[in-house]
Each structure stands twice: as C-alpha cells, then as structure tokens.
Structure 1
Amino acid sequence: MPSAPTVLETATDPAPERSSGTARPRGRVLTAAGPLWAALMASHGWIPNGFGNLGSLFQTLLPWTGLAVPVLLGLAAVRRSRLAAVAALVPAVVWVVLFGGTLTDKSAGGGDLTVVSHNVDEGNPDPERTARALAAVDADVLALEELPTDSVEVYERALAAAYPHHAVIGGVGLWSRHPLKDVAAVPIMPWTRAIRATADTPKGPVAIYAAHLASVRVHPAAGFTTGSRNDAARALASALRAEPLPRVVLLGDFNGTTRDAALAPLFSGLRSAQGEAGNGFGFTWPAAFPMVRIDDIQVKGITPRSSRTLPSTGSDHLPVAASLAL
C-alpha cells in the first residue's frame, strides 16, 4: 500500500505581547534608596533627638553608614539594575566627603607634652597589667577614668617611680611628671566623675581636665538613653568656659563621639587631637573590636602634633595618646 503522505508542521513563536504602558526601570525602590541614604548621611547633624535619641545614635555610628554602599551594590547586581548600581555610588561620594580627610595621616614630629587618657575598666581583672602598660608609654601626664576604689593602690604603686605627682578623686585620677596644683573635683554629676588640676610644665601652666561622662544604654523601648550624659556634658562645658588659663587639655571617656550633636556644647571651642593630628578613626571601644571613638583628647590654646590609640591593656577601652606643642 502506498504510504500516507508526510505532513510537515512548522512551529511558529507566538507574537510578542505588546506592553500597554511605558516600560518600568528595574529596581526603582532600590535606585531611590542610594540618594535617600546619602541625604541622611549628609544631613546627620540635623537629625532630631526626639524619640529614642535617634540623632545621637546615628551620629555615633556615622562612620559605619558607608557599609550601606556594598549592600546596595550587591542588591543592584541581583536586580541587574545599572541605574541602581550608579545610585549606590552617591552615598559612597558623601562618605568620602565626610571622612576622606580622616583617613590621611596628619601626624608630625615634636611636641612638648605627651598625654594619655584611659578608661581602665572598673571590672578589669588585672589592674597591675594595665598599670605596667601605661607606665611603659612614657607619657608626661596620665588621666585614668573608672578607677575602682580597691585598685587605686595598685596604680599608685605601679606608677610611683615614673610619676612623682598624682591625685585621685572619686573614680578619676591624674598622674604627672610635672607638679600638679589647684587639684579639685568638677561637679558634673552627684558623684565625682571629673577633676581639674594645673600642671606646672617647663613652658608654663596648663589646665588639665579628666572626665568620665555618664554611661549611655540602648533599650528596645527607650532607645538611646543619653539624658544623664548630656547633663554632665553641659556642666563640664560650663566649667571649661570659666577656665582662666589659656591652655587647656581635656582628657576622658565621653561616652559619645565628636560627631554627636548633643555633645556640641562641650566640644565647642576645643579641638580634637585625633581629628587634627591623627591617622584614621582611632576607635577605642570595645577594645576587642573597636567600633566607636568615645575616648578622646581635646585641647585649647595648644597645637596637637600627633595622636594615636595604644594597644589593649586588659580594659574594655583602648588608651589614647597625643603629643602636644605648648
């Protein structure tokens, strides 16, 4: 029998659907996120401290806001959105504007006075180790904060050979190679957390302040609690404004950064040694993985020549040091 004819069928693709509207770019929300985050970074000083003191919290963590850039770039790659990738570079530019100068080495040689500030940690399990590490720095003035009463004698014994002059009031102490005069507590809290002394240096008197502002906490309900710290900062600022000597050094643990607008009354009229003569952010806390610089050295009428953080001593803070030209 003759075979049945073969029928060939040609498959054709269905006609492409026509879009009823204008094509939408990929990742519109992601594209908008970059400029919005950049605007928040650029206007950090204007973020209000309303509920939860979010302004202070954002300003404290401001250097870490740059981490949003690789996150946004990664999401842009997932979405295959070139526009979102370009938009992610906007916060990168803002971050460089804010912190590019911080990453340069501004230190110089010389200096007449080397100072060190260190929160030695009330719960420090080995204060003698900490004291030995501080003695080895060879500074002219040491300011120690959070000194536990039962460890003061340990520090006095370990530092006696290098520092013939010292004063401890409450949990704050000063050790100096130069004579200390007019030592007095500075009333910033119900208990002593700040002291002032005049260091009689070979180049004349210098007012030395050592302070430990009230601690801050982050609570899910209350947010970033800074009220007591801010009150202490204002009281300390008032004492500094009344200081008669033209040359002033303020050392301490401020439980906040110089970017925190709530601390502006305290740092107004002063200059950060790290900001002027340091190299990098100089983060000090927590010592195991420093994320913020809450310990600082501020000056007035004095030129910082260099500033640095020191190696861990066993405290939960890193010490900070600066060389100053009087």
Structure 2
Amino acid sequence: MTATTETIQLPAAPARRAGAWRRGRVIAAFAVLIALLLLAHPLVPNWAGNAGSLLETFLPWTGLLVVPLPAAALVRRSALALVALLLPALVWGGFFGGRLFDKRGPGGDLTVVSHNVNDENPDPAGTARALAASGAQVIALEELKKSEVPKYEDALAVGYPYHSVQGTVGVWSTFPLRATRPVAIMPWTRALETTVDTPKGPVAAFVAHLPSVRVRLDAGFTANGRDAAMGLLADAIAAESAPRTVLVGDFNGTADDRALAPITRRLHSAQDEAGDGFGFSWPAGLPLARIDQIFVAGVRPVAAWTLPATGSDHLPVAAIVAF
C-alpha cells in the first residue's frame, strides 16, 4: 500500500486583507451618500413640496443616519466601510461640530428673552414670573391670547414698567420704549418694532411670530405662507437705520433653513455665536429643532441659552449682548 498525504492550504493573509477591502461596499456607499446629502443640501429643490427647507429644518439630525453603520461595518469585517464612515463624520463635524462647545462668556449689556407662550398656556402668570426670574431687561412674547394678556401684564407690572402689545405679540422692558408700531407681515398683527432706550444707547427691537408650517402627504412642507411673511419682515428690517438691532421670535424655521436667508444675510444668530449646544426649543418635551430665534446686528452676543419649560409647547430662549 502506498500512503498518500493530503496538503491543506490555508488562505493567504494578503487574500484575507484584500477581502476586508472588498466587503461592505453597500455600507460604504450609504456613508458616501450621507456625506453628499450634507454637502449638497442647498441643491435639494424646494419646488417639490419645499423638500429642501424640510431637510434643512432637521439637518443636524442627519448625523443619526451614521450611528448604526460602524456596527454594520464591524459585523461585515469591512475595512472599506470603516474608512468610508470617516467622510460623513468629518462633513457633519465641519457643519455642526462648533455648536457642541460652550461658547458662553461673561459680561454683557442687555439680556433679552423671547418665548412663544402658547395661546392655550394653563398658567400665564406663572410663565411670566419664570421669565422675569431670568433677570432679562427685555421680554418678548408671542402667541398672546387677547383674554390672557391682562394676566401677563399683572405678573410683569412691577419689574417691567414699559410694555406694548400689538396683536398677538408683545414686549416688556425695564427701559423706556418708544416708536412702537406693528409690522405688517400678515393680514393680522403678528410682528412689532420698537426702540429700547438703554443707558448705553438705543436698540431697535423686532418681535415676530411667523406663520405655522405643517408636513402633509398631499402638499409636503407647507411653508409658503411663512416664507412670504419672512420676506416682508426682512424688508422692514432693511428699512431700519438704527446701528443696533435685535430680532426675536418664533420663526417656525431654523437658522439652517434657506428660507431664513433674507434674515440671516443681515443678522446673525446669538445661539450659533455664543450658545452651548444646538439650543433646540421645540417641542418643549423633546426639543428637536430651534425654531425660536434671537438674531442681532451691531451688537456682540456674549451668551445664549434656553430656559426651563413653562406651560408652553416651546422653550423660552435667552441671550446676552454687549454693545
């Protein structure tokens, strides 16, 4: 008998390494698509149900699309996918990484608070007292219900002797107000302009509540009314010649939304420049978007933050500015 010996050949190590670069192509492609979506979001058209604005409203949350991919890449033992994941991570970090750090500083000359108080707020007086406790010199309120206005006036009367209510928006101040008037952005009054005479000089203050938006299957992102009002508000701001301007309110849109470009071309976001985190303000129970804004020009934001929840479905937003 002749004995035979079988030789078992193991896969070469280079072949295994080559396989790690061939596996996970679908995961890698998905990672690249997420990066492209972030980079090219201005190219997403608005003619199809305002899809571009809807994407930009929740743009920071695109980072969540990347979260399950590292686990998938490890399961597939794919070096290609792991390397590809760096692309959306770097792009997201370039867009939003700066917002993760606390940029608040000390000092400042004027503290402003803005709050959509909700016309169904069960405790207007308690909400007003909570806002006053912030120490703000100027408090702006949106979505005021006519029958509830006296409750806000009574709660703020002692600390804020100067105030004006125009339609569904109002402003309360520790400093004198003058030349207060409504700003026509809709058929009924949802915006005002006033001048706050601070000890260090006047500040033009605008308070606005832009029309609501919805997401509907038959119409997409219903933002056309909001966008039209945004243009009228931007025109009013452009006509203001004061060297210092503060614009606050509920914009039903984020600073990343292209629809706010008529505003953001002239004014800058206090939260983006001097905040801590993203400053999401709506909905109050689980904030997903910052639709309540404080924009400024001619002053320097020192700090910006959100206040604790009140009886509203929005969180109050606050900012300190220096002249």
Question: Helix, strand or coil: the match of 1:139?
Answer: coil
Quick check: 141-150 or 24-33, which moved more?
A: 24-33
Alignment-mate amino acid for residue 128 of structure 1: A
Partner of 1:101: 98
1:15 shift after superposition: 11
Within the alignment, does 1:91 sit opposite 2:88 as a pair? yes
Deviation at 1:180, TM superposition (A): 0.7
Alignment of 1:33-182 (within 5 A): 33-182=30-179
Q: Structure 1: 5+ residue runs without aligned partners? A: 1-9, 17-21
Deviates more, 1:291-300 or 1:25-34: 25-34
Q: 2:286 aligns with which of 289, 295, 315?
A: 289
TM-score relative to the length of structure 1: 0.91
1:45 offset after TM fit, Å?
2.3
Cα deviation digits, residues 88-129 of structure 1 (max 9, x gap): 221111111111111122211111111000000111122122
- Contact 1:215/1:229 (8 A) holds in 2: yes
Deviates more, 1:203-212 or 1:28-37: 28-37
One of 305, 312, 323 as aligned partner of 2:320: 323
Find the counterpart in structure 1 of residue 273 from structure 2: 276
SS at match of 1:114: strand
Percent identity over paired residues? 57
Q: Tell me, yes or no, if structure 1 residue 233 matches structure 2 residue 230.
A: yes
Q: Distance in 2 between matches of 1:101 and 1:83?
A: 28
1:145 is displaced (CA, Å) by: 0.3
Deviation per residue, 1:26-84 (Å, 9 max, x gap): 23222211111101101222322121211111111111111111122233234332312
* Letter aligned with residue 178 of structure 1: F
8 Å Cα contact 1:69/1:89 also seen in 2:
no
Which residue in 1 is equivalent to 2:305?
A: 308
Tell me the residue number matched to 2:220. Answer: 223
The two structures, once aligned, show a CA RMSD in angstroms of: 2.1
Measured in 1, the distance between the counterparts of 2:8 and 2:199 equals 93
Q: What letter corresponds to residue 172 of structure 1 in structure 2?
A: V
Deviation at 1:139, TM superposition (A): 0.7
Q: Which has the larger radius of gyration?
A: 1
The amino acid across from 2:185 in the alignment is: I
Partner Cα separation in structure 2 for residue 121 and residue 32 of structure 1: 44
1:183 touches 1:197 (CA, 8 Å); kept in 2? yes
Task: Quote the residue 1:4 is aligned against.
Answer: none
Query: Which deviations, in whole Å up to 9, do the C-alpha atoms of 1:152-175 show, x marking residues without a partner?
Result: 011000000000000001110000
SS of residue in 2 equivalent to 1:56: helix
The Cα offsets for residues 237-294 of structure 1, whole Å up to 9 and x where unpaired, read as 0000000211110010100011101210122110111111111111100110111101
Mapped to 2, the partners of 1:234 and 1:272 lie a distance apart of 18
Who is 2:245 aligned against? Answer: 248
Q: Would you say the 8 A contact 1:140–1:178 is kept in 2?
A: yes
Aligned equivalent of 2:198: 201
Aligned to 1:7: none
TM-score, normalised to structure 2, is: 0.92
Count of aligned positions: 314
CA contact (8 A) 1:308 1:322 kept: yes
Moved over 4 A (4+): 12-16
Distance 1:234 1:215 in 2: 15
1:87 CA drift (Å): 1.4
